[in-house]
Amino acid sequence: MYVLVLWLPLVSAIISGLWGRKIGTRGAGRLTSTCIILCWGVSCIILYEVCLNGAATYIQLWKWFDFELLTVSFGLQIDVISSVMLIVVTSVSLLVHIYSTGYMKGDPHVPRFMAYLSLFTFLMIVLVTSDNYLQLFIGWEGVGVCSYLLINFWLTRIRANRAAMKAMLVNRMGDIGVVLAMLLMYREFGTLDFSTLSGLSGTDAPHMTAICLLLLMGAVGKSAQLGLHTWLPDAMEGPTPVSALIHAATMVTAGVYLIIRSGPLFEKSPMALTVVTIIGALTAFFAATTGVVQNDLKKVVAYSTCSQLGYMVMVCGISGYSTSLFHLMNHAFFKALLFLSAGSAIHAIGDEQDMRKMGGLLRAIPITYVSILIGSMSLMGFPYLTGFYSKDLILELIYGRYYIAFAYWLGSVSALLTAFYSMRLVYLTFMTETNARQGSWDNVRESSRAITVPLCILALGSIFVGYIGKEFVLSNVMSPIVANGVKMIPLLFSLLGGSLALFLYVVVAPRGTIWLQGLPIYPFFNSAWQFNHVVNHYVIKNVFKFGHKVTYKVIDRGLLEIVGPEGVSKICIRLSQKISNLQSGLIFHYALTMISFVVGFLYATA
């Protein structure tokens, strides 16, 4: 039964991908959705057995390769972390599959789309159920490839091509870190198994900090943390269900999963943990400031994802792995809801994504409005909604570590900004007078059931998952004891942020002042702190120059050519010419040579 969770999505991907024309659009939708429903059912049973009955399971499927120095098997390790990840992946994937049957209606390539989604689900399951780093790396790279294929789904769009290549290349930077970390782990410990490594990590390995920092590099790339985050906003080029499944709920959390899974290693390196906290806190703050001034509905949610991933990484830095996993689970539900609701609104208003051309949708699409409102409030950490249970706990745990107070304050200010952009999103999209074009507005209506049913289910998840999940994910986490005033700070900041957004857009803006126009900070935040410009201008340009002048011209076409093929051939030609000159055909030349050698020989032996 456990193996079924792995094979069902693969089977549906193969059938839908290879025989998509035979089974048709509707057939592909039904087949893939049915397989994922079964997969979700198995995940529920696994969750029950592992989390509630405490029966962690290890299955060795086959020996992958075995030579004297390293043995790697292909196996499933299903513990609490894996089972929670499994339920997250399959739940969101199931709802996204169903949603896609409605959202992608009319697109000529639906079977291909459904095949990619299923293939992604399979590889994500490989990633979260693997029992060693090498197997995890297959899933890690596989989801990267699927992300590339899905961002580039509308492959005739140049912008989609660019975004997909950017995602692929930036992720490769992080992947190099994972590969190097695996090599170091193999050198230090001689194994790549999670269970063996967690046992061996008690020994003092000299390169533990390097291993952890390299693993962190991989996580930074995959989870879009500050420095390698630039691919995530651009990845919104893909269809909205892709954004919900891959770039909000599952693939981007793979980096966080890697840190959680490597927890025993990170615990041996306090320096790496501090770096993890710093990167997480900075990402949370940076992404929140950028999200405040975005106008594209999907980009607001994308930066919000980046910010929340920052929270997850930040809490890993203070060894709060369970809390991070809990926030990961909660975030998957409310962020998938936000993305899918955004997709529903975009779909309703003629594929318009700019919030400046929306507004007034409250009465036209009430189910979508309620969904996005619940998702936003859960994201803001509104009391007793899903986000509240993990976000507040993260900030309280961070507050308990006095030596990283900056992380607490960055996290709290990010909470304020999160509330600001959430309320701004809701106001501009639904509450203000419409600014939509006549042609778009005339056709606005609520989406089909294939779209609204997943929204309703995710809305329920965004309300209750936090309350239910804390019982089994946080069973070993002691809530820190902090003063009531401190406990209230994140909530007060959230309320302040939400109120400020409403005040600015409801009260200040209609009085005839374009208050943003004069602010020099607006272009800075809007362009994501000029990160793309800085990276392109100072890093990529110099790397290209170095690549062309040094790597290509000096090394490849210079040194290696001289020492390598060209040099060898030239030497051979010269040598052969000289040797051929010796054969002159004149008897006294040969006699002279013979005499010289004989004299030399006699002299040497004398």
Please report whether residue 21 would count as binding other proteins according to CB under 8 A: yes
DSSP string over 190-246: S--BHHHHHHHTTS--TTHHHHHHHHHHHHHHHTT-TTS-THHHHGGGS-HHHHHII
Q: Which structure tokens are listed for 494?
A: 């959230």
Q: Which structure tokens are listed for 227?
A: 């420095």
What 3-state DSSP class applies to 418? helix
Binders of other proteins among residues 524 to 543 (CB under 8 A) are: 526-527
Please report whether residue 545 would count as binding other proteins according to CB under 8 A: no
| Span from 303-311, 427-435, 447-455, 495-503 in contact with other proteins (CB under 8 A) | 427-435
List the one residue from 71, 196, 435, 448 that touches other proteins (CB under 8 A). Answer: 435
Q: How open is the CA angle 407-373-504, to the nearest 5 degrees? A: 70
What is the distance between the alpha carbons of residues 79 and 265, in angstroms, rounded to a whole number?
18
The number of beta carbons lying within 10 Å of the beta carbon of residue 474 is 19
Q: What's CA 346's distance to the chain center, in Å?
A: 24
517 vs 580, which CB is nearer to other proteins?
A: 517
Work out how close the CB of 351 gets to other proteins at its nearest, in angstroms, rounded to a whole number.
5
Q: Are 239 and 149 in contact (CB under 8 A)?
A: no
List the one residue from 131, 352, 392, 396 that touches other proteins (CB under 8 A). Answer: 352
Work out how close the CB of 301 gets to other proteins at its nearest, in angstroms, rounded to a whole number.
14
List the one residue from 23, 56, 463, 509 that touches other proteins (CB under 8 A). Answer: 509
| Span from 45-53, 107-115, 392-400, 598-606 in contact with other proteins (CB under 8 A) | 107-115
The number of beta carbons lying within 10 Å of the beta carbon of residue 333 is 29
Binders of other proteins among residues 224 to 283 (CB under 8 A) are: none
Q: At what angle do helices 297-316 and 254-261 cross, to 10 degrees?
A: 0
The residue to which tokens 């194994």 are assigned: 191
Work out how close the CB of 24 gets to other proteins at its nearest, in angstroms, rounded to a whole number.
9
Closest-CA residue to 173 (of 224, 207, 125): 224
| Span from 64-72, 192-200, 352-360, 482-490 in contact with other proteins (CB under 8 A) | 352-360
Work out how close the CB of 352 gets to other proteins at its nearest, in angstroms, rounded to a whole number.
6
Binders of other proteins among residues 353 to 372 (CB under 8 A) are: 353-354, 356-357
The separation between the first and the last C-alpha atoms of the chain, rounded to the nearest angstrom, is: 87
Give the burial string for 435-471 (b: 16+ CB within 10 Å, else e). ebeeebbeebebbeebbbebbebbbebbbebbeebbe
Work out how close the CB of 108 gets to other proteins at its nearest, in angstroms, rounded to a whole number.
5
Work out how close the CB of 512 gets to other proteins at its nearest, in angstroms, rounded to a whole number.
6
Q: Which residues does 168 contact at the CB level (< 8 Å), separation at least 6? A: 144, 147, 148
Work out how close the CB of 18 gets to other proteins at its nearest, in angstroms, rounded to a whole number.
16
Work out how close the CB of 145 gets to other proteins at its nearest, in angstroms, rounded to a whole number.
22
Residue 152 main-chain phi, psi, to 5 deg: -90, 25
Please report whether residue 108 would count as binding other proteins according to CB under 8 A: yes
Closest-CA residue to 125 (of 146, 142, 139, 135): 139
* Contacts with other proteins, 141-180, as mask; x by CB under 8 A: -------------x-xxxx---------------------
Q: Are 317 and 274 in contact (CB under 8 A)?
A: yes
The residue to which tokens 């930066």 are assigned: 303
Q: Are 207 and 188 in contact (CB under 8 A)?
A: yes
Please report whether residue 475 would count as binding other proteins according to CB under 8 A: no
Please report whether residue 26 would count as binding other proteins according to CB under 8 A: no
List the one residue from 19, 406, 522, 529 that touches other proteins (CB under 8 A). Answer: 522
Please report whether residue 512 would count as binding other proteins according to CB under 8 A: yes
Q: Which structure tokens are listed for 39?
A: 């997969």
Work out how close the CB of 367 gets to other proteins at its nearest, in angstroms, rounded to a whole number.
23
List the one residue from 1, 67, 68, 351 that touches other proteins (CB under 8 A). Answer: 351
Which residue type is seen at 570? K
Work out how close the CB of 298 gets to other proteins at its nearest, in angstroms, rounded to a whole number.
9
Q: Total binding residues for other proteins by CB under 8 A?
A: 34
What is the distance between the alpha carbons of residues 7 and 33, in angstroms, rounded to a whole number?
14
* Contacts with other proteins, 117-136, as mask; x by CB under 8 A: --------------------
| Span from 69-77, 290-298, 375-383, 447-455 in contact with other proteins (CB under 8 A) | 290-298
List the one residue from 68, 204, 433, 442 that touches other proteins (CB under 8 A). Answer: 433
Please report whether residue 443 would count as binding other proteins according to CB under 8 A: no
What is the distance between the alpha carbons of residues 193 and 570, in angstroms, rounded to a whole number?
51
Q: How open is the CA angle 240-241-245, to the nearest 5 degrees? A: 120
| Span from 508-516, 541-549, 569-577, 593-601 in contact with other proteins (CB under 8 A) | 508-516
21 vs 553, which CB is nearer to other proteins?
A: 21
Q: Are 335 and 287 in contact (CB under 8 A)?
A: no
Which residue type is seen at 56? A
Residues lying near other proteins in the complex (CB under 8 A) are found at: 21, 107-109, 154, 156-159, 294-296, 350-354, 356-357, 428, 432-433, 435, 437, 509-510, 512, 514, 516-517, 522-523, 526-527
